[in-house]
Amino acid sequence: MAAMTETAPQTYAAQGADARRRPRPRVWRGAVLALAGAYFLLPLIASFVFTVHVPGQGITFEAYTRLLGAEGFTESLLLSLGLAAATIALCLLLAVPALIAVRIGSPRLRPVVEVMCTLPLVVPPIALVTGITTVLRWGPEHLSRTPLYQTFLAVQNEKFPVVLVLAYTVLALPFVHRSLDAGLRAVDVPTLVEAARSCGASWPHVVLRVLLPNLRASLAGAAFLTLALVLGEFTIASLLGFRPFAVWIVSVSGAQARMSVAVSILSLLVTWLLLLALSRAGTTASTAAAAPATSRKEP
Query: In CATH, what number is assigned to the domain containing residue 97?
Result: 1.10.3720.10
Question: What's the pLDDT at 2?
Answer: 47
Question: What's the pLDDT at 4?
Answer: 47
Residue 17 in domain: no
Interatomic CA distance for residues 171 and 126, integer angstroms:
12
Specify whether the CB–CB gap between 177 and 91 falls below 8 A. Answer: no
Residue 83 in domain: yes
Specify whether the CB–CB gap between 227 and 270 falls below 8 A. Answer: no
Residue 231 in domain: yes
Q: Closest by alpha carbon to 164, among 64, 246, 283, 256? A: 246
Residue 240 in domain: yes
Mean pLDDT per segment of 10 residues, for the chain of length 299 residues?
49 52 66 85 84 77 74 84 91 90 84 87 86 81 73 83 92 91 85 84 83 85 86 87 85 73 79 70 54 44
Question: What's the pLDDT at 173?
Answer: 92
Q: Closest by alpha carbon to 231, among 189, 275, 293, 191? A: 275
Residue 1 in domain: no
The number of distinct structural domains making up the chain is 1
Range of 227's domain?
72-245
Residue 38 in domain: no
Residue 20 in domain: no
Residue 127 in domain: yes
Please indicate, yes or no, whether the overall pTM of this predicted structure exceeds 0.85.
no
Question: What's the pLDDT at 63?
Answer: 75
Question: What's the pLDDT at 233?
Answer: 87
Measure Cα distances from 20 to 14, 24, 50 in Å: 10, 9, 50
Residue 26 amino acid letter: R
Q: 265: Cβ–Cβ under 8 A, 6 or more apart, which residues? A: 44, 47, 48, 51
Question: What's the pLDDT at 25?
Answer: 58
Give the CA angle between residues 273, 277, 283 to the nearest 5°. 145
Specify whether the CB–CB gap between 172 and 90 falls below 8 A. Answer: no
**Please, which contacts does 37-46 make with residues 24 or more away whose CB atoms are closer than 8 Å?**
44/265, 44/268
Specify whether the CB–CB gap between 84 and 231 falls below 8 A. Answer: yes
Question: What's the pLDDT at 298?
Answer: 44
54: helix, coil or strand?
A: strand
